[in-house]
Amino acid sequence: MSRREQILATAAELFAARGFHGVSVADLGAAVGISGPALYKHFVSKDAVLAEMLVSISQDLLSVGRSRVADAAGPADALVALVDWHVDFALRHRPLIVVQDRDWESLPREARERVRTLQREYVDLWADQLRLVHGGLALERARAMAHAAFGLINSTPHSGLLPDVPMHDLLRQMALGALGLDDPDRR
């Protein structure tokens, strides 16, 4: 892991625990074993850390999501793959889910717009597959279904009362049900 990646991972943990405004540059530097001012060799500001963190997770979700859809045998399989990907992401990156939810307003305007654009594309990736599975489904309803599934999956940091494997299975089953799909592993 590079120093930059270490800073981002540590910042996610600290921001999730204390909030973006509850963490100083000195706190972040100390947590990664450097001085606060040395942090500026890697990022121009604490805002830049938050921006890169949230833009990069949105890029990852979309990139891997597109790959999952492209590799799927059809739209139902694509949705199963998207659910599996998003559940896995949420379980591995609980702090990022918290930071995205709580510190969204602290993002610099340009980064907020970039994240919004990436998130819209991600929602539409899901919505397109939902419309193929559920013929005649209006785009706005498909988008609402995708958002509802995200809300369920992204509740993981707050509702993760089970170990990761059974939590993954539960979230997968519930998200697929919310999307009107049978879980192919339960047939």
pLDDT tier for residue 6 given thresholds of 50, 70 and 90? very high
Provide mean pLDDT across the span 166-173. 92
Whole-number CA gyration radius for the chain: 18
The pLDDT of residue 160: 63
Spatial CB neighbours of 148, under 8 Å, sequence gap ≥ 6: 178
- In tens, the pLDDT along 23-54 reads 999 999 999 999 888 999 999 999 999 999 99
pLDDT tier for residue 146 given thresholds of 50, 70 and 90? very high
- Find, among 149, 156, 115, the residue nearest to 130 by Cα: 149
**Average pLDDT of the chain, as a whole number:** 93
CATH number of 47-179: 1.10.357.10
- In tens, the pLDDT along 70-119 reads 999 999 999 999 999 999 999 999 999 999 999 999 999 999 999 999 99
- Find, among 100, 113, 118, the residue nearest to 62 by Cα: 118
- In tens, the pLDDT along 114-138 reads 999 999 999 999 999 999 999 989 9
Statement: residue 187 has pLDDT above 60: no
Integer angstrom CA distances of residue 83 from 15, 156, 169:
26, 13, 11
